[in-house]
Amino acid sequence: MKTRPGRRPRIAIHAPMTSSEPVARLLTPELIDPNLRSRAAGRSGFEDEYPFTSRWFEADGHVQHYIDEGQGPVLLMVHGNPTWSFAWRRLVRDLSRDHRVIAIDHLGCGFSEKPQDRNVYTLDGHIQRLSALVRLLNLQQVTLFGHDWGGAIGMGCAGRMSDRFRRFVLMNTGAFLSLAIPFRIALCRIPLLGILGDRGFNLFARAALTMAVEKPLTPAARAGFIAPYDSWANRVAVHEFVQDIPLNPAHRSYQTLTEVDQSLSKFAKHPMQLIWGMKDWCFTPKNFLNEFRRRFPDAQTLELPQAGHYVFEDASDQVIQQARTFLQHNSID
């Protein structure tokens, strides 16, 4: 795979470490498992939707995929479940004209590795690996874009590296303790039933193709969203994200989400844009948008009354326009 003119070459380098940081490095293509490279190169049915150059890094022995497009102020885009960096494709195409746009695939998602050890799929693990990429690329003055679980993961990273983050664009997400869990999500947490549905029949990822949108997805978009989750083994993260929702203090990720929750106050005076699909039945306006507004009373808000959870699909033009307006009005010197 050739490097495009003007792109940063892919080199293998190690990040500075502290005792709590995972061992991490950027990887050249020849260091990537051929099967992983092959999957990333395939893109059958959505080639035109996702034309970006694949890049990889390794953290604690696990290989993750990301894209890094354009030049300029840094925009870091963090997806949720059951999506991957594909979800940001329209924003990447537009905003990379005058920004450097980086979108990660969490471990187990997209074109990243999908290890079968459930213990790696914790909120803290995702935050640590995202933080490793931020350090590896030495990202500064970052604008975070977060959706769904990407809000908690992204804000968790920002809380631990607050000197590197300047602006926030959050869409249909959460980053604080909440007991609000929809019945449809709770069903996926039932022992045996949940794992059979999520991993055996791919019900969670398939249901999102219709339940997360108000407008029908195009065939290319459907192909792109579902492509990484084509087998029992490849659906491990989809299932574990659902299991990792912390609803009580005994849960493995409760303390981590508490930390994320408490760190939000660090950014009370930072520019923040909230973009919300108001028909979202999961991250509802009542339970999540209103809580963000309470915590960030100076945040700008764009309510999209006809959009659902995948707000970037239902109202992509409005999302891009508002993001551009926000970035221009809160420019980084």
User: pLDDT in tens for each of the 333 residues of the chain?
Assistant: 333 333 443 334 334 333 367 899 999 999 999 999 999 999 999 999 999 999 999 999 999 999 999 999 999 999 999 999 999 999 999 999 999 999 999 999 999 999 999 999 999 999 999 999 999 999 999 999 999 999 999 999 999 999 999 999 999 999 999 977 655 565 556 666 678 888 987 999 999 999 999 999 999 999 999 999 999 999 999 999 999 999 889 999 999 999 999 999 999 999 999 999 999 999 999 999 999 999 999 999 999 999 999 999 999 999 999 999 999 999 987
The pLDDT value given to residue 18? 38
- Token pair, residue 88, equals 């940001």
List the one residue out of 94, 64, 78, 87 whose CA is nearest residue 227: 87
CA distance 78 to 298: 23
- Token pair, residue 18, equals 């502290």
CA distance 141 to 162: 10
- Token pair, residue 145, equals 């874009």
Q: Tally helices (H) and strands (E) across the chain.
A: 13, 9
CA distance 142 to 332: 10
Which CATH superfamily includes the segment(s) 24-329? Alpha/Beta hydrolase fold, catalytic domain (3.40.50.1820)
List the one residue out of 75, 259, 310 whose CA is nearest residue 169: 75
List the one residue out of 65, 130, 101 whose CA is nearest residue 260: 130
CA distance 159 to 155: 6
Q: What is the DSSP letter of 151?
A: H
Taking the CA of residue 55 as centre, how many other CA atoms within 13 Å lie in the half-sphere pointing to its CB?
Answer: 24
The H or E element spanning position 243 is helix 236-243
Annotated active-site positions, please? 148, 280, 309
pTM: 0.92
The pLDDT value given to residue 252? 93
Q: What SS3 class is residue 154?
A: helix
CA distance 322 to 171: 12
Alpha-carbon dihedral sign for residues 10, 55, 96, 106? negative
The pLDDT value given to residue 196? 81
The pLDDT value given to residue 187? 58
